[in-house]
Amino acid sequence: QVQPVESGGGLVQAGGSLRLSCTASGRTFSTYALGWFRQAPGKEREFVAAVSWNSVITYYADSVKGRFTISRDNAKNTLYLQMNSLKPEDTAVYYCAAGPGVGMSRNDYDYWGQGTQVTVSS
């Protein structure tokens, strides 16, 4: 099975940028749709962005549209989330997920990483 592993989280000032990466431990996720979700303390895990297996389709939550860019490099078995113009409300644990088809629901994804913390200071 696919086991996503996130990296790249950390501390950043508001207005700054950060790039998250996700790679698959175990089987490649090159044939899977991939998504990013995030969860802040006391809140439900929410959709951030997703990309189809062939990068033809991308989806973004309205809250990040224009600021975040999802991309993938299947040759490197890597998913990215470029986060620009970060806001304190972006602070959350960010999770990478893989599923059979691109979607915006947690139910669209079968495999989840452990998450990486992103903290945006004001």
pLDDT digits (tens, 9 = 90+) for 9-40: 999 999 999 999 999 888 889 999 999 999 99
User: Cα separation of 12 and 88, whole Å?
Assistant: 9
- pLDDT of 15 reads 98
Strand duo 2-7 + 18-26: pairing? antiparallel
Q: Do residues 49 and 63 touch, judged by C-beta distance below 8 A?
A: no
Q: What CA–CA distances, in Å, run from 44 to 18, 27, 41, 72?
A: 23, 28, 8, 26
Taking only the tens place, the pLDDT of each residue in 47-73 is 999 999 999 999 999 999 999 999 999
Taking only the tens place, the pLDDT of each residue in 72-98 is 999 999 999 999 999 999 999 999 999
